[in-house]
């Protein structure tokens, strides 16, 4: 049983095969013991209580309860009935008699609360070390900080102790720990998930976030939990779209090279460049964006209004128990005492000015891609300089909630030194499905194992590529690519875009001679081949036959091996068609050939 993977698809498959919830509970405790990290959890549910909650679910039914028997953890600033809420301050402890709204919704869907996780005290920090409990150990490298403030939630997820965990995110607390622990961190549109029953940090910016091993799991949890809540004055209705195939061509804003900040971390810079190259291969068009105003917006977060808001959240407790607080937390929040109402309004006015200035910039692209964190820090380095290191970690996170953007941190590779590389995809409020769909493709393309578990990514087909819906996949390489002259023929046949990827490195691409409409020809070769950029579309089975019948020679349909090891039918050229053709394989694809070639 200990080898059962805890991503939701694998876990539900195990339940269908007869694995019992009692076995899963035993595995959870075995993994906690194996981790040997007393800093992850502040409170654990009793085994008997977990088993009783599972028994109350009734027989396995993933339709009625989409999270049936799925274990999860809750950051200890979010209420769970019958468990203490501490916000990582023992003197603050209270015992709620009801669940936070988001916890109640997840329980109703069949999920089981395993325990409450450690955090930077009062959710103030991005480092994960500002706690009177032991500091959770980074799941990838114990010398590094785990990231915060949702430190325990991220580490528990990365170690496969639970399937997912709830965090909170005001300035990056749901993204930084995900990036530093090689997992997914979904930061939804502010207000999409209720914060009723959550100890506030900055009520106007706070949101509940989701840590998971895969994008599918994070988005499934988001889909269950998202709902408008009358108990939360900042709640709003956000339409949760199914995680569908992303558009074939997307413009992605990236920080201009001159504005990128890595603080001397060359490995992180190289990792980000590799991540952008992967996005390009997935069919995204990268657009460099000046980032100075985004950084200036981020700097507002620890000035005026929002420091005062943190103070307002715990003022009564702090005035009576200041010496009980972590020294760094006390210093940061205590700084609000010297601020005036005028300082707060000055910050609000500055934010509104940046929002107005940046609105057309944000609207100029479909989404953004930034490093999740600019660098990794050791715990020793953060303890030696707790404020500056924390500030640097927030370089690409602090502005997001201020500008009302949604986002998702996703593993994108491994740096040259073996540490995780993560990027965050961002978009305007309400576009949670778009960033998740791109993140899903990016995670799949990375080929990374899940968290620190060593588990391979589930063998789920990419979004929109179901083989059970009567459709057939078709690989296109040239004039039928999205935006190309013959793409309309595909759409007229009822085809839908599935994904952009590359062939296995065993093909050559040629520009065919004598064609009225310029066309390429793809040929499989024994040696000396390369990977060629392609798109995968899907057609209804009957339309596929009609479409193939209309293909003119020398083109034909054959099996094409893709770089993820799968195969699909696609366009190939007969050998006779190569007479007079030019080898353009070095361009890596037809789209790049057309854009890069020098006119004769």
pLDDT in tens, 84-96: 999 999 999 999 9
- Reply yes or no on whether the pLDDT at 439 is more than 60: yes
Domain boundaries, the chain: 8-247+370-446, 471-596
Q: Are strands 507-511 and 405-414 parallel, antiparallel or unpaired?
A: unpaired
Give me the residue label for tokens 């009692």: 22
From CA 413, how far away is CA 442, in angstroms rounded? 9
pLDDT of 179 > 50? The answer is yes
Cα–Cα distance between 176 and 323 in angstroms, integer? 28
The CATH number assigned to the domain with range 8-247+370-446 reads 3.90.1300.10
pLDDT at 467 over 60: no
Name the burial class of residue 594, with classes exposed (0-12), middle (13-18) and buried (19+) by CB atoms within 10 angstroms of its CB: middle
* CA dist., res. 122 & res. 116, Å (int): 14
- Block residue for tokens 């994904």: 499
pLDDT in tens, 302-337: 878 999 999 999 999 999 999 999 999 999 999 999
Write down the residue that tokens 């019948």 correspond to: 549
Higher-confidence residue of 474 and 213: namely: 213
354 within 8 A of 296, measured Cβ to Cβ? yes
Among 13-17, 54-58, 242-246, 346-350, which is the least confidently predicted range? 242-246
Cα–Cα distance for residue pair 427/400, rounded to 1 Å: 9
- Give the mean pLDDT of 520-534: 87
Q: Is the pLDDT of residue 462 over 50?
A: no
- Same CATH fold assignment for domains 8-247+370-446 and 471-596: no
- pLDDT exceeds cutoff 50 at 510: yes
CB-based contact 34:477 (threshold 8 Å)? no
Confidence class of residue 459 from pLDDT cuts 50, 70 and 90?
Answer: low
pLDDT of amino acid 466: 41
pLDDT (average), residues 438-443: 93
Percent of the chain at pLDDT > 70 equals 96
Q: Are 165 and 156 in contact (CB under 8 A)?
A: yes
Ramachandran quadrant class, 6 (left: phi over 0; alpha: psi -120 to 50; beta: rest): alpha
Between CA 11 and CA 28 the distance in angstroms is: 12
pTM: 0.80
> Which long-range contacts link 54-58 to residues 24+ away (Cβ below 8 Å)?
54/21, 54/22, 54/25, 54/112, 55/21, 57/21, 57/110
Please check whether residue 72 is in contact with residue 106, taking contact to mean a CB–CB distance below 8 angstroms: yes
User: Annotated catalytic sites, by residue?
Assistant: 75, 149, 173
* pLDDT tens per residue across span 185-198: 999 999 999 999 99
Angle at 39 between CA 406 and CA 146, to 5 degrees: 40
Angle, in degrees to the nearest 10, between helices 432-446 and 266-281: 100
Kindly give, in sequence order, each residue whose CB lies less than 8 Å from that of residue 527, ignoring residues fewer than 6 positions away: none
> 468: pLDDT confidence band, cut at 50, 70 and 90?
very low
Q: What's the mean pLDDT in 557-574? A: 83
Tokens, residue 144: 């590094």
* pLDDT value of residue 538: 84
pLDDT for residue 252? 97
pLDDT at 125: 96
Grade residue 245 by pLDDT with cuts at 50, 70 and 90. Answer: low
DSSP 450: B
**3-state secondary structure at position 74:** strand
Residue 341's pLDDT band, with cuts at 50, 70 and 90, is very high
Q: Which single residue is written with the structure tokens 């707790």?
A: 386
- Please give the Cα distance from 44 to 115 (Å, whole number): 4
pLDDT at 130 over 50: yes
- State pLDDT tens for residues 10-52: 999 999 999 999 999 999 999 999 999 999 999 999 999 999 9
Q: What is the pLDDT of residues 382-392, one digit of tens each?
A: 999 999 999 99
Which CATH number describes the domain made up of 471-596? 3.10.490.10
Q: Span 526-531, mean pLDDT?
A: 83
For residues 175 and 211, the answer to whether their CB atoms sit within 8 Å is: no
Name 501's bridge partners. 534
Record the tokens describing residue 405, joined without a space: 């953007």
């Amino acid at each position: 049983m200990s080898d059962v993977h805890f991503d939701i698809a694998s876990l539900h498959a195990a339940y269908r095969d007869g694995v019992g919830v009692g076995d899963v509970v035993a595995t959870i405790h075995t993994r906690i013991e194996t981790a040997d990290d007393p800093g992850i959890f502040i409170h654990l549910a009793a085994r008997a209580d977990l088993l009783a909650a599972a028994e109350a679910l009734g027989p396995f039914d993933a339709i009625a309860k989409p999270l049936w028997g799925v274990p999860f953890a809750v950051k200890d600033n979010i209420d769970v009935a019958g468990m203490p809420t501490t916000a990582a301050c023992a003197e603050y402890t209270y015992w709620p008699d009801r669940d936070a709204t988001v916890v109640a919704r997840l329980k109703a869907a069949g999920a089981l609360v395993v325990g409450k996780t450690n955090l930077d005290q009062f959710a103030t920090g991005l480092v994960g070390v500002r706690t009177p409990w032991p500091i959770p150990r980074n799941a990838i490298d114990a010398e590094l900080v785990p990231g915060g403030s949702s430190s325990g939630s991220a580490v528990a997820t990365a170690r496969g102790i639970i399937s997912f965990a709830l965090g909170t995110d005001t300035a990056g607390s749901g993204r930084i720990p995900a990036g530093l622990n090689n997992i997914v961190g979904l930061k939804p549109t502010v207000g999409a998930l209720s914060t009723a029953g959550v100890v506030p940090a900055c009520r106007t910016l706070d949101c509940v976030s989701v840590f998971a091993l895969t994008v599918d799991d994070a988005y499934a949890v988001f889909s269950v939990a998202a709902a408008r809540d009358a108990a939360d004055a900042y709640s709003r209705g956000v339409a949760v779209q199914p995680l569908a195939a992303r558009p074939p061509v997307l413009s992605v804003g990236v920080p201009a090279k001159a504005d990128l900040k890595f603080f001397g971390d060359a490995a992180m810079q190289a990792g980000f460049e590799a991540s952008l190259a992967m996005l390009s291969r997935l069919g995204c068009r990268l657009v460099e964006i000046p980032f100075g105003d985004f950084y200036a917006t981020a700097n507002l977060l620890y000035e005026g209004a929002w420091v005062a808001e943190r103070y307002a959240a715990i003022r009564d407790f702090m005035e009576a128990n200041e010496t009980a607080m972590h020294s760094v937390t006390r210093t940061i929040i205590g700084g609000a005492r010297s601020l005036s109402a005028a300082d707060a309004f000055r910050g609000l006015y500055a934010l509104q000015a940046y929002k107005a200035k940046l609105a057309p910039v944000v609207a100029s692209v479909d989404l953004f891609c930034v490093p999740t964190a600019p660098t990794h820090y050791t715990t020793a380095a953060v303890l030696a300089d707790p404020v500056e290191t924390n500030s640097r970690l927030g370089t690409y996170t602090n502005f997001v909630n201020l500008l009302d953007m949604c986002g998702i941190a996703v593993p994108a590779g491994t740096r040259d030194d073996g540490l995780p590389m993560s990027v965050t995809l961002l978009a305007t409020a309400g576009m949670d499905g778009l960033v998740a769909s791109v993140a899903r493709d990016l995670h799949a393309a990375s080929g990374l194992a899940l968290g620190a578990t060593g588990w391979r990514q589930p063998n789920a087909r990419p979004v929109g590529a179901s083989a059970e819906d009567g459709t057939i996949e078709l690989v296109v390489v040239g004039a039928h690519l999205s935006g190309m002259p013959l793409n309309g023929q595909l759409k007229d046949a009822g085809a839908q875009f599935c994904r952009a990827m590359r062939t296995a490195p065993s093909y050559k691409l040629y520009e065919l001679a004598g064609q009225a409409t310029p066309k390429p020809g793809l040929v499989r070769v024994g040696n000396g081949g390369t990977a060629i950029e392609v798109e995968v579309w899907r057609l209804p089975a009957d339309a596929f036959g009609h479409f193939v019948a209309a293909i003119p020679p020398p083109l034909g349909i054959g099996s094409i091996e893709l770089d993820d090891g799968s195969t699909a039918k696609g366009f190939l050229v007969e050998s006779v068609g190569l007479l007079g053709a030019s080898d353009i394989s070095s361009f890596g694809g037809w789209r790049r050939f057309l854009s890069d070639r020098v006119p004769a």
